[in-house]
Chain A
Amino acid sequence: MTVESVLFYAFAGLSLLSALAMVGFVRNVVAGAMSLVVTMISLAGIYVLLEAHLVAVIQIMVYAGAILVLFLFVIMLLNLRSDDFGPVRPWQGVLKVVGAAVALGIFVVLLGVLPDTLPEVAELPEGFGGFRVIGVSLFTDYVVPVEVAGFLLLAAIVGAVILAKRSID
């Protein structure tokens, strides 16, 4: 096994474990959020192994740095300690099993749909996954989606401020 594959399987196991922990931490929402940080950072490691350097940097900055901090901030602001919601309906456990079974069915379907064998690239184009190539791509072929994304972010900012305001004047 090469160093690359050892690192890949280590990151893959870490991301799976922490994702399961995020779903499984019933008592503590903050612990769930911290597990999600571990998932994001291991995914960034996998992106580096897949030569997606810019995406890996953005992943750490935006996901681990901004989005998860936002989650933790809201959890702290609302003072949510546990997920221990009062009495449950008697068939709640059955419903959870049904939900998990549906999700596992989706997994089986996904694995069936995914192609079994994919071509292996011999060598990568120069500068693949770097700032220059993606930047050129973003500002030539994808300039309209970039502008639309800017408008989307503006709308999201305004919407979030309006929603979280105590009263609308």
Chain B
Amino acid sequence: MVPIEHVTALSAALFTIGVIGVLVRRNLIVILMSVELMLNAVNLAFVGFNRVWAGTTEQPLLDGHVFVLMVITVAAAEVAVGLGIVIALVRNRDSVNIEDVSILRW
């Protein structure tokens, strides 16, 4: 079995790549995909920790897996609404560049 520290390190690395994508890229769709990547990194940490604290046969602990299912549900909802906003934005501004929607930015 792989040490769980390596799983959590991989999770941290993937989360970092997601943060870089959100901070560095200017394409709204790529930013949404980077957010998905960060959610996946968190899911990986949940599954890894649940592998360590798995409980007993009488009382298995599956909270990590259930949390992952919830996160996936929220991610699906987020993508549906986010891409709806992207479509509305392209219809109004004809662009997916976040520099074009900076009115609320200081």
Partners in one complex: yes
Contact A85 B97 (CB under 8 A): yes
Beyond A52-B51, A62-B72, A125-B55, whether A152 also contacts B77 by CB under 8 A is: yes
Interface SS majority for chain A:
helix
CB distance from A102 to the nearest CB of B (A): 6
- Of all chain A residues, the one with the shortest Cβ separation from B8 is A114
Per-residue interface assignment for chain A, residues 85 to 105, with 1 indicating a CB less than 8 Å from any chain B CB and 0 otherwise: 100000000001001101110
In-complex Cβ contact of A51 among B8, B16, B51, B86 (8 A): B51
Chain B residues at the A interface, C-beta cutoff of 8 Å? 1-10, 12-21, 23-27, 29-30, 32-34, 36-37, 40, 43-44, 47-57, 59-60, 62, 65-66, 68-70, 72-81, 83-88, 90-91, 96-97, 99
Beyond the given pairs A16-B14, A62-B76, 13 more chain A to chain B contacts, judged by CB atoms under 8 angstroms and listed by A's residue number, are A15-B10, A46-B7, A52-B50, A67-B79, A103-B16, A106-B19, A107-B15, A119-B53, A128-B54, A129-B62, A145-B70, A159-B81, A160-B84
Chain A residues at the B interface, C-beta cutoff of 8 Å? 4-5, 8-9, 12, 15-16, 19-20, 22-23, 29, 32-33, 36, 39-40, 43, 46-47, 49-52, 54-55, 58-59, 62-63, 66-67, 70-71, 74-75, 77-78, 80, 83, 85, 96, 99-100, 102-104, 106-107, 110-111, 114-121, 124-129, 133-134, 137-138, 141-142, 145, 149, 152-153, 155-157, 159-164, 166
